Amino acid sequence: MNNFTLFLKDFFKNKGLMVFSSMLIEKLVGLINVIFVVRMISEKDYGTITLIASLFGVLITMNGFGTIQGLLRYGSLEKEAKDKTILANFIFKEGLKRHLLLMLLFVFCSIFYELKYENIWVIIVFFLIRMLGVYFYSFILSYYRIQYQNNKFSIISIFINCFGVLISIFLTYYTGTMGYLISLAITPWLALFFYKKEIYLPMSLPSLDFEIKEFWNYCLNSSFTYLFSETLFMIDVFLIGYFLNEEAVANYKVAIILPMNLMFIPLIFIQTDLPKIISNSSNKSYLKFYIHNYYKIFIPLTIIILIIGYFIKDWILQFVFGNEYQENGWIFFIILFSVCCNMCLRNLYGNLLSAIGYVKQNTIISIISIILMVLLSLITIPFFGIIGLAISLALTFISMGICSAFIFRSYLMKI
């Protein structure tokens, strides 16, 4: 119990409540926004936007080709605040160049949707504007995190998300689908109100305890890990769009919104403590301490979530999104089960693997999971439709988590 008390004290000391508040608000306003938008625009328009949004969600994980993840890890390893800033300055400029290439890749991949869906280029342009804004937004947040300023990190996140949802509701209400797209494009740019001037000033690269080649290798592998992990969420939408239609895409996406939003809960602790975990990545006692106390929270929590989810599965979607989505209760519960498994396995051990520098192993797990997801989906969708896809995603999530846990446990035995 003393260890658990210390675990919670560290969480509060690192402004964990502020991080919790910011992430809770982010998920709540995002959910409110989706509920409002689903009711305000047509099912077909929402399904089409979801297709591009899913592609965007996959590629944006490569933000600056991994420079955001690189800043977080290597910035956390720097001891002096000045060196953190100089490193951030170097990473910002190099990352921006790579991010522009990512935007070109987004345009190229979007061409394939043009073959089936008309007038989709308007949506693509707005998401392209959003993609550049997200780079600035993510970089500014990571800068404050490596400086251990979780308060500032949380304030920025709360401001962007609250103001963004107000813009979205206002514009969608008065101008429909176009207003929703405009709000998506401009929201991340609000982060520029919080930029630090010194980030953009010319500075020489400091003497570092690692090779630049090592840094870029970590960044690239991190970007691939996040890309392949997020690809799972594009594959499911792509396969439904291929085998079924836009309405099926909308039904599936609405059914998984509530369960998927619960994934922010473990990230509250991981995001708060990640810089400290990175700095203790070779400390076996600390890593075991963190895992044991993490489970003291999340095993009981996931059991409670599953019990509640089972009893509300038949009416929650109808209540939140409308009568047209009432037949998706079992999809909701299957995805909820997979999310709970993810909380206890992949969310924990995947982030721990990144913290200790095992990005190649994370990438391999992600690639294998994509292959598994495709194979399972090709078998289940033709026979069971959307429910088959939900089962495939659940099995893939669980497999990823088990593999991640096994690799991390092996690392613990070596140190």
pLDDT in tens, 11-30: 666 666 677 777 778 878 87
Return the pLDDT at 306.
93
Q: What is the mean pLDDT of the chain?
A: 81
CA angle 353, 408, 221 (to 5 degrees): 30
Confidence of residue 115 (pLDDT cuts 50, 70, 90): low
Residues 6+ apart with CB under 8 A from 283: none
Q: What is the pLDDT of residues 252-284, one digit of tens each?
A: 777 788 888 788 788 777 777 777 788 778 888
Nearest to 50 by CA among 255, 209, 221, 322: 255
Return the percentage of the chain with pLDDT > 90, whole number: 11
pLDDT at 202 over 70: no
The whole-angstrom separation of Cα 306 and Cα 233 is 22
Structure tokens at 132: 């550049």
Q: What is the pLDDT of residues 120-152, one digit of tens each?
A: 888 888 999 999 999 999 888 888 888 777 788
Return the pLDDT at 340.
92
Structure tokens at 390: 């939900």
Q: What is the mean pLDDT of residues 374-384?
A: 85
Place of tokens 């170097």: 90
Q: Do 202 and 340 touch, CB atoms closer than 8 A?
A: no
Nearest to 288 by CA among 76, 13, 3: 3
Return the pLDDT at 186.
92
Residue 300: is it exposed, middle or buried by C-beta count within 10 angstroms (0-12/13-18/19+)?
exposed
How many residues are there in the chain?
415
Structure tokens at 406: 């096994």
117-to-42, 123, 232, 233, 244 alpha-carbon distances in Å: 15, 11, 22, 20, 14
Return the pLDDT at 55.
81
Q: What is the mean pLDDT of residues 202-219?
A: 67
Cα 5 to the chain's mean position, in Å? 29
Considering only 60-69, 132-141, 154-163, 272-281, which range has the smallest mean pLDDT? 272-281
Return the pLDDT at 79.
74
Residue 326: is it exposed, middle or buried by C-beta count within 10 angstroms (0-12/13-18/19+)?
middle
Return the pLDDT at 196.
63
Indicate left, alpha or beta for 41 from its phi (over 0: left) and psi (-120 to 50: alpha).
beta
Return the pLDDT at 15.
63
Nearest to 84 by CA among 194, 203, 193: 203
Backbone angles phi, psi at 316, to 5 degrees: -65, -40
Residue 121: is it exposed, middle or buried by C-beta count within 10 angstroms (0-12/13-18/19+)?
middle
Return the pLDDT at 325.
66
Return the pLDDT at 337.
92
The whole-angstrom separation of Cα 55 and Cα 208 is 36
The whole-angstrom separation of Cα 255 and Cα 321 is 9
pLDDT at 34 over 70: yes
Q: What is the pLDDT of residues 165-192, one digit of tens each?
A: 898 889 888 888 888 889 989 999 988 8
Q: Do 396 and 376 touch, CB atoms closer than 8 A?
A: yes
Confidence of residue 2 (pLDDT cuts 50, 70, 90): low
Amino acid at 162: C
Return the pLDDT at 208.
57
| Alpha helix ranges (H) inside 244-263 | 246-261
Residues 6+ apart with CB under 8 A from 102: 59, 62, 63, 64, 65, 131
pLDDT at 56 over 70: yes
Return the pLDDT at 402.
92
Looking at per-residue pLDDT, the higher value among 358 and 205 belongs to 358
Q: Do 66 and 220 touch, CB atoms closer than 8 A?
A: yes
Backbone angles phi, psi at 184, to 5 degrees: -60, -40
Residue 75: is it exposed, middle or buried by C-beta count within 10 angstroms (0-12/13-18/19+)?
buried
Place of tokens 């949380």: 154
Confidence of residue 299 (pLDDT cuts 50, 70, 90): very high
Most confident residue range from 155-169, 195-209, 213-227? 155-169
Return the percentage of the chain with pLDDT > 70, whole number: 88
Return the pLDDT at 301.
92
